[in-house]
């Protein structure tokens, strides 16, 4: 297997909880920095199958800004924020399956207050941000290892396919910018946060 490039990451998260009657809201501002260095990290695993992973958060609003320019690259109102991790070994089938799964998750409340509605049912939007750190391995030592994350060229292709698959389903999609430092702001409504993957395609 071709060696993977070393990944570096800086993350800073601030959480506050506004006092809104009848609602529990979490506001988070998260900064990610992705750096690609020399091929100093060698993978010792032979991965024959991937497991694409998504962290899905139900939001009342979310946006992505590039800190160095102040440009807002993606912004949504009511809907979901998807942090998407692509693993070495993932393919087109993973991207298509996961997009369909995410679009149909029944995580929005109906008139009875039960989670029975999907993203399209509530005319919601999706903000999709690439997030290789979902494959951070913290089992040994204090520094996460990212050898299971896909190479940038593969990750970008499958990330773009995931976005395209959501749009084909009729979802309005905004995005971050691949391989750039980003400031991600969101209001998590509920809060509702789910981890979804393609470990078992079903």
Catalytic residue among 7, 132, 146, 162: 132
Distance separating alpha carbons of residues 191 and 165, to the nearest angstrom: 26
Judge whether 193 counts as a catalytic residue: no
Residue whose structure tokens are 């946060």:
193
Judge whether 133 counts as a catalytic residue: yes
User: Where is 163: in which H helix or E strand?
Assistant: helix 152-168
DSSP type of residue 97: H
Distance separating alpha carbons of residues 152 and 67, to the nearest angstrom: 21
Catalytic residue among 51, 57, 131, 147: 131
- Cβ(29)–Cβ(14) under 8 Å? yes
Catalytic residue among 133, 161, 177, 179: 133
Residues 6+ apart with CB under 8 A from 36: 5, 6, 7, 152, 179
Distance separating alpha carbons of residues 35 and 109, to the nearest angstrom: 39
Judge whether 132 counts as a catalytic residue: yes
Residues labelled catalytic: 131-133
């Amino acid at each position: 297997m071709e060696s993977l490039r070393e990944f570096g990451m800086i993350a800073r998260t601030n959480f506050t909880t506004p006092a809104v009657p009848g609602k529990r809201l979490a506001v988070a501002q998260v900064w990610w920095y992705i750096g690609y260095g020399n091929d100093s990290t060698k993978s010792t695993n032979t991965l024959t199958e991937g497991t694409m992973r998504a962290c899905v958060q139900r939001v009342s609003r979310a946006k992505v800004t590039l800190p160095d320019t102040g440009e807002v690259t993606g912004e949504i109102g009511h809907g979901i924020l998807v942090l998407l991790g692509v693993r070495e070994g993932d393919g087109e089938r993973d991207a298509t399956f996961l997009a369909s799964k995410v679009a149909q998750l029944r995580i929005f409340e109906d008139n009875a207050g039960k989670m029975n509605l999907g993203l399209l049912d509530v005319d919601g939007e999706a903000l999709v941000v690439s997030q290789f750190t979902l494959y951070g391995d913290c089992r040994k030592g204090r520094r996460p290892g990212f050898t299971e994350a896909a190479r940038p060229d593969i990750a970008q292709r499958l990330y773009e396919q995931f976005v395209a698959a959501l749009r084909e389903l009729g979802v309005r999609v905004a995005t971050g910018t691949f391989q750039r430092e980003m400031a991600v702001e969101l209001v998590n409504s509920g809060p509702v946060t789910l981890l979804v993957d393609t470990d078992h395609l079903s």
